[in-house]
A and B are shown apart, each in its own frame.
Chain A
């Protein structure tokens, strides 16, 4: 299921997960299954980021998208500014001082010269982002079909993989990445920053039997009340910490699935909600979501979740920070708008027939944790009284 490159991918995280407690260290949930052989393993998500397969060989044969200074120069010339004026505006790019930089108001209105392109991207013409034309991508076959726009999963070799988000973003330099020990992408770095201030995410996999046997499982993916604790390496989440489930049900996902050879998959597509942080993504709201998670012998878990995401949600997660994120990440915001709109592949608007969602997939890296459901504890306390 996972190739050796990935299973040995601890190096970027700088931590070696040691199975110190063997099978006796089964993580808790608030309520233990009553069957004697029932087993639950819980994890805290150490990393969650866009599942991009940027191998640098076959993914972007047409080259990379421009850096921000280059597409700013292109667009400002297009709107009629003289070359001298453009160069004068960009001479200290990006500079300091935010809005006081002379290039900022120019690029903000580089569509029609007056409207803000971050809120009105259609005021600018479609620059035609370079998109991925390689064959491989992580993700899932969300529509059950195999077409010309679909990828092949590099590890499982499954065909019909839907990940148009990767197609759109995969040739933007800052979004190019690989799972460890490959290079990290911007999104992985954003997660690394935000997880210190955002609530942790916890996953529990429960079976009525031992999880070492194949069979039915219930997967819970939910938000915690606590933030993660980093281990001594600073890179990964510390294993065996205790997390309490957030009683807010909006990010509480329960999925039925199967475990086979230690790999958990969902039985059927689910809706998946993960209210996160506007700086990275305000909400991961996936329809027809699928998940694949390998429970590793060292106590970690690793896998993917994928589904259809409202592409405008993603667009505004970039555009809402205006020129700041645009120049820093070299994502041409009007270009992104058109590319997302053009590559969206699900949920057509009944009136316009325009697709409102785009297929996407995300990497999950998790370490063993204890999970407690405060609501269940309260119930138990009440019963005791």
Chain B
């Protein structure tokens, strides 16, 4: 069983910012360590930007705009979802969250939205109304915190609304102020895994119902639990096999599953790097920010269509010619695409076309290239690390890259020639043997993803091998990936880590091996893999929480600090 790491210090750190700042002191006080019997937190994960946006859209509707910059995420073991367990909120980050929260709250209580989003009307618009405030805050709070608010929490929120409404002589402004404090609360910004004693297995612990609901929902839908799932959690249904299966089946059948699948691949394929990806407009005039957005969407759309809509074999993502294009993407692919509205069209690259599957798409070729030239090394490394879950060491700090970077050398016209010259240096040879033979197969795609057969007038040699399997071009490499057991093994490891928010532990090898066998037995159907993990005992089993953490001196000190701060307001 995995040893439990108490993430309380992260919670406390975020709490400390709030407690020490003037921005949200009331919120901090309201969240001060709710007592829930024998329960204890076993981990926290900060919401991703997309999850934040999804929750706001789910709770308040898509017309509420979420602007501003979010705290940067950290990638751990190949996934941001794993890094989410290791990040806190910085002081400047909290300011950003506060700004976003105030913007969201003001929109929710605005004249445009209040009738639709607030379930009651105050007796007087220019005075507090605790009854109406309580109704709204308890309903919204349940969805935002992914569990019902405790009486203490709710009372504190209502008090914030009351005090603000009195001061501002405006019920809605007061309500908005209270809502904004909820949105900067660690209870909203962080997912909390709460453990409880498992009555069916004395001496063992499991996630409580609400934590389980969150785990399912963020895993399958990339958002907070909906009211149906929360109701199932409240009734304890998620602790029964039937109840759990029923909810997982419902969620897998929902169109929202595509959001979950897209979120997973956005993470696995490192699309967080796209905002900083640039191409030299003189060299690659077809590549633009629009193309960058479309390229990601193309891949995600293709994956969602293949894996969810068509329930296709995961391995075929490496070889399928079926995809979706916009006119701008078609321009780079060099294919005609008549459209009536300039939007997305289904498109299929025919058998034998150099475009085969994921690695031949612009998103992959462009993301793992330099601004002015392609990079067999970056592409090979991306295949090894992202798609095969293999480790590739970073280059040493004193490497001389001159030979590789000089694309104008008349004696080294192609990337293969330049890399051969570079890799003669002993310190470079080892890693390049790992990545270059596969990266060079993709040299027929330039830095922007356009197809080419020559570089500087010289024919490009795309022969290579992947773990003993020879190929002659990118399509051959794609076929080798399709047939690679490492590729299917990797995605199982990644999906499990993504769902759990942590890398698989050594003791879980047997469990993962079983998942992999089941994945193969089910024809490598991705939703079946998600179901298998979501309904596994491992997904809800936790080790023994360190119950003493709740009453640690530091925690007590923080609680006192927040109360004192609130009293001083």
Interface residues of A (CB under 8 A from B): 14-18, 20-22, 25, 27-28, 226, 229, 231-233, 236, 238-242, 244, 370, 372, 374, 377
Contact = CB atoms under 8 A, between A and B. Distances in A.
Nearest to A29: B336
Contacts of B446: 20
A232 B287 CA distance: 6
Nearest to B335: A370
Given A21-B451, A22-B453, A372-B338, A16 B283 contact: yes
A239 B339 CA distance: 17
A233 B281 CA distance: 6
Q: Determine chain B's interface SS by DSSP, over half rule.
A: loop
Given A232-B281, A233-B281, A372-B338, A239 B453 contact: no
B282 A242 contact: no
Interface in B317-343: 327-328, 330-332, 334-339, 342
Contacts of B336: 27-28, 242, 370, 372
Contact of A238 (B331, B342, B454): B331
A11 to B, nearest CB: 10
A14 B284 CA distance: 11
B431 to A, nearest CB: 30
Nearest to B339: A242
Contacts of A229: 327-328, 331
B284 to A, nearest CB: 7
Q: Chain B contact residues (Cβ within 8 angstroms of A): what range? A: 20 to 34
Given A15-B285, A242-B327, A232 B334 contact: no
Interface of B: 279, 281-288, 327-328, 330-332, 334-339, 342, 446, 450-454
Contacts of B327: 229, 241-242
Interface centre among A229, A244, A374 (most CB of B within 10 A): A229
- 3 tightest Cβ-Cβ pairs between the two chains A and B: A370-B336, A231-B285, A232-B281
Contacts of A17: 285
A374 B285 contact: no
A226 B336 CA distance: 14
B286 A232 contact: yes
10 contacts: A18-B450, A21-B450, A21-B452, A22-B453, A232-B285, A233-B282, A241-B328, A242-B339, A372-B338, A377-B338
Contacts of A226: 342
A20 B450 CA distance: 7
Given A231-B285, A240-B332, A372-B338, 14 more contacts: A14-B282, A15-B285, A18-B283, A20-B450, A28-B336, A231-B288, A232-B285, A233-B285, A238-B328, A239-B286, A241-B328, A241-B331, A242-B337, A374-B338
Contacts of A377: 338
Nearest to B338: A372
Contacts of A231: 281, 285-286, 288
Contact of B334 (A15, A16, A20, A238): A20
A258 B188 CA distance: 72
Nearest to A20: B450
Interface centre among A238, A244, A372 (most CB of B within 10 A): A238
Contacts of A372: 336, 338
B282 A21 contact: no
A242 B338 contact: yes
A14 B281 contact: yes
Nearest to A367: B285
B354 to A, nearest CB: 10
A12 to B, nearest CB: 13
Interface centre among B283, B334, B450, B453 (most CB of A within 10 A): B334
B285 A236 contact: yes
Contacts of A233: 281-282, 285
Contacts of B342: 226
Nearest to B450: A20
B113 to A, nearest CB: 35
Contacts of B334: 20-21, 25, 240
A372 B446 CA distance: 27
Interface centre among B283, B284, B288, B336 (most CB of A within 10 A): B336
A24 to B, nearest CB: 8
A238 B338 contact: no
A27 B331 CA distance: 11
A17 B279 CA distance: 15
A232 B454 CA distance: 23
A367 B421 CA distance: 37
